[in-house]
Chain A
Amino acid sequence: MSQIAELQRTASQVRRDIVRMVSQAKSGHPGGSLGCTDFLTALYFHTMDRQPGFSMEGKGEDMFFLSNGHISPVWYSVLARSGYFPISELGTFRHINSRLQGHPTTHEHLPGVRVASGSLGQGMSVAIGAALSKRMDGDNHLVYCLTGDGELQEGQVWEAALFAAHNQVDNLIVTVDWNGQQIDGSTDHVLSLGDLPAKWSAFGWDVLHMQGNDIADVVRVLDQAKDHAGKGKPVVILMKTEMGAGVDFMMGSHKWHGVAPNAEQTETALAQLAETLGDY
């Protein structure tokens, strides 16, 4: 099987996990999770250089920070499927006494998570700190960060963008989930982001583009981003995705940003997603 086909199989299972987790919890954020499934699957199963096991400090390996913490279902699934913790634990998502909190946290010591996120706009700054630490230590590994597009409405993001360019933090690859949707509607309706490529460019970043629900393109652009690292500029990937990608009735709208499907909708969704690696 080709590598792309392998990643697609994994992504299909991750999407099933997302739908089942959110359905069982009767809450959570399926839309952005499904939209970012191909990216996180490729990042963990293809792109990142990871050490076996988990160390908080992440020395001698690539590190990832999720800034838009509400898409925790996709991250939890990818982490479990990557071996950070048992996949059976996915069934505890959002339940009491679980390490899989509604939004990711280090507080319950879930392997794979290095900072709490959920309150938006903070992850890029944290990723910059980790990247600076790697530079001080002479560690050539990369730091990845994923943010939402609505999240770019937070001012801290642009503080971080200024800083990373000024300080040539070129071991940092930030991806923006550019699905154009947020809770109250489209980003154009709620608070327009304007010309995003021009904005990032003007802030001094190396701007790449990705079709985030075409896993072959995700792999290609991530490889490209690694090549662009270390050349004096931080790298941003503007990743076009469809909220709810993979489940027809969740696509093309902001309505599934933070709503769980009912039993019937869950059946319909799962019928569209092949069980490739075995459900948890």
Chain B
Amino acid sequence: METQTSTDTLFGRFKVTGKKATRDGFGTGLHHVGATNENAVALCADLLGSLKMDDFVRDWPERFIQTGISEANMMGIAAGLATAGKIPFTGTFANFSTGRVYDQIRQSIAYSDKNVKICASHAGLTLGEDGATHQILEDIGLMKMLPGMTVINPCDANQTHAATVAIADHQGPVYLRFGRPSWPVFIPADEPFVIGKALPIKRGEAVSIFATGHLVWQAMEAVQILETQGISCELINIHTIKPLDEAAIIESVSRTGCAVSCEEHNRLGGLGDSIAQTLARHRPAPQEYVAVDDTFGESGKPEELLVKYGLAPMDIVHAVHNAIKRKS
């Protein structure tokens, strides 16, 4: 995760400008929404600091609801607020935002068409030392299966900020997934965020790499290595897993002939499966998955975990080689 100057030329306008956690981008995005939309209401289940919601609470205490450690109740209250015309943003860890409250989300929010924004931090392995109880790797699958749910997993702090602002103007339930660790920032602060629209990071010819969340940076590191090996890579950031930008995926794979998907999630049910379904239905092509291989995580440093569970840049490099081999 060291910032390298070569990324500054290889990826055009996507230049590393520093390091910040994606949850910091949520905090500033939420504050922006609070300032610009008086219907925005924030809820938190005893994790204010972790979710970076302090600035919102300081400036609009009357629009903040502390629910204590009762996530099911928080989801229900959010549904009630949305019924009455508010735009509630719920904040807790990804595990407690999804698996713990799945039926509340399913019935009171998704099936009831409520305009609730479920904002989830500490997703995936990069939560680190807290271990598998908190490292949810199934949340994208859980949420994308709910009819009407929009699922977004931004890749850096700037994109998380922009996504937080964008979902306030989107009518309907949204799952916004972000994380804990400090991470390279490379999306320009003024880059527009369009829900459901893939963001090309780099054009290339030999392979289409589709990455989401923290794994976009891992993919950028992998692409640097691959380019030195003479492999021309296309890298596309799929920040919105649902609705999926199928046209962008089909268009890219039609040129490159193979795909690699990269995500901090179980191999089952995540971005990779969404892409595989798209390709199977519209443009069959070899695809390799860079994802957690249907297992739970464990305690450790984020960088150590990414290596141990097969999400490191070298894993992406190998996946690209395999995908290209399978083209013939």
Contact = CB atoms under 8 A, between A and B. Distances in A.
Interface of A: 56-59, 63, 65, 105-107, 114-119, 121-134, 136-137, 155-156, 159-160, 162-163, 166-167
Nearest to B83: A114
Question: Which of B70, B83, B104 has the most chain A CB atoms inside 10 A of its CB?
Answer: B83
Interface in B35-86: 41, 62-63, 65, 67-68, 70, 72-86
Contact of A156 (B65, B72, B113): B72
A156 B79 CA distance: 14
Nearest to A67: B76
B70 A133 contact: no
A125 B75 contact: yes
A60 B158 CA distance: 40
Contacts of B63: 136
Given A107-B111, A160-B73, A129 B83 contact: yes
Contacts of B82: 129
Contact of A56 (B77, B83, B108): B83
B171 interface: no
Contacts of A105: 111-112
Contacts of B129: none
B76 A129 contact: yes
A145 to B, nearest CB: 10
A58 B83 contact: yes
Interface string B72-104: 111111111111111010000000000000011
B107 interface: yes
Contacts of A59: 84-85
A129 B107 CA distance: 15
Contact of B70 (A56, A106, A126, A162): A162
B113 A133 contact: no
Given A57-B85, A136-B86, A163 B77 contact: yes
A89 B112 CA distance: 21
B76 A132 contact: no
Given A56-B83, A116-B112, A132-B81, A162 B68 contact: yes
Contacts of B106: 119
Contacts of A128: 73, 76-77, 80
B108 A115 contact: yes
A133 B85 contact: yes
Contact of A126 (B62, B67, B76, B86): B76
A24 B76 CA distance: 33
Contacts of A137: 84
Given A125-B73, A159-B73, A132 B107 contact: no
B83 A163 contact: no
Interface of B: 41, 62-63, 65, 67-68, 70, 72-86, 88, 103-104, 106-108, 111-114
B108 A125 contact: yes
Contacts of A124: 76
Contacts of B108: 115-116, 122, 125-126
Nearest to B116: A129
Contacts of B41: 136
A267 to B, nearest CB: 36
Given A106-B112, A117-B107, A129 B79 contact: yes
A130 B68 contact: no
A116 to B, nearest CB: 5
A133 B81 contact: yes
A54 to B, nearest CB: 12
A7 B169 CA distance: 45
Contacts of A123: 76
B72 A155 contact: yes
Given A160-B73, A163-B70, A122 B84 contact: no
A129 B85 contact: no
Question: 3 closest Cβ contacts across the A-B interface?
Answer: A129-B80, A125-B76, A133-B84
B112 A129 contact: no
Nearest to A130: B80
Contact of B86 (A133, A162, A166): A133
A65 B82 CA distance: 14
Question: Which of A63, A155, A162, A163 has the most chain B CB atoms inside 10 A of its CB?
Answer: A163
Contacts of A136: 41, 62-63, 86
Contact of B104 (A118, A127, A156, A163): A156
19 contacts: A58-B83, A58-B84, A59-B84, A107-B113, A116-B108, A117-B107, A125-B74, A125-B104, A126-B77, A126-B108, A128-B76, A129-B76, A129-B77, A129-B78, A129-B79, A129-B88, A131-B80, A156-B76, A162-B68
Question: Which of B63, B83, B84, B114 has the most chain A CB atoms inside 10 A of its CB?
Answer: B84
A162 B73 CA distance: 10
A45 B106 CA distance: 32
A130 B81 contact: yes
Question: Which of B65, B68, B88, B108 has the most chain A CB atoms inside 10 A of its CB?
Answer: B108
B107 A122 contact: yes
